[in-house]
Amino acid sequence: MIRIAKAELSDLNLLREIAVGTFSESFSDQNSEDDMQFYLEQNLSLDKLEREISDTFSVFYLGYHNAVAVAYLKLNFDKSQIETHKVDSLEIERIYVLKEYKGRGIGKQLLGKAVEIAKNAKLKNICLGVWEKNTEAIAFYRKHGFREIGQHVFMLGNDAQNDLLMQLDLP
């Protein structure tokens, strides 16, 4: 089990550290150094994360294992959603776990937190985008009931990549 806590503005440096660390671990082997650096500077800078954490339609959670942050989750509601912009949907924009902690059920617990929040808000579904080459993540989402509903382009630096859009319908 991990402890999941809502990230506050005071957690900004820790959030950036875990965001940059998990993204780099997940994708640096499959992408150019220039594209990775550009993405990290543009999307995971302190300024950008501060704007995101201050957005009333977004929320971040940190996952702690023995008081060490090892994962995080970013959820978007309503007009802060990247794709759907539906008031009856929750978007998981980011869900990442440090490599050495994968396989311990931490991603499942973070996903469970998202489902709990969506159900408590009486939302109809949860949507997300996942890189088509991230087969491990796609299998994880399918295992937990997500289905493919479309595609979109995700820019990683100058590289236009294809993301699968997936959705989990809630009872």
- The distance between the two most distant Cα atoms of the chain, rounded to a whole number of Å, is 43
Has 101 been annotated as catalytic?
no
> Any residues with CB less than 8 A from the CB of 109 and at least 6 apart, and which?
1, 2, 4, 63
Contacts of 111 (CB under 8 A, 6+ apart): 92, 95, 144
Residue 12 identity: L
Distances (CA, A) of 51 to 12, 57, 86, 127: 10, 11, 21, 22
As given in the structure block, the two tokens for residue 44 are 């995971």
User: Which one of 39, 61, 72, 141 is the catalytic residue?
Assistant: 141
Does residue 132 contact residue 164 with C-beta atoms inside 8 Å? yes
SS3 percent helix, strand, coil of the chain, rounded to 5, is: 40, 35, 25
Q: Which residues pair with 97 in a beta bridge?
A: 71
Catalytic center residues? 141
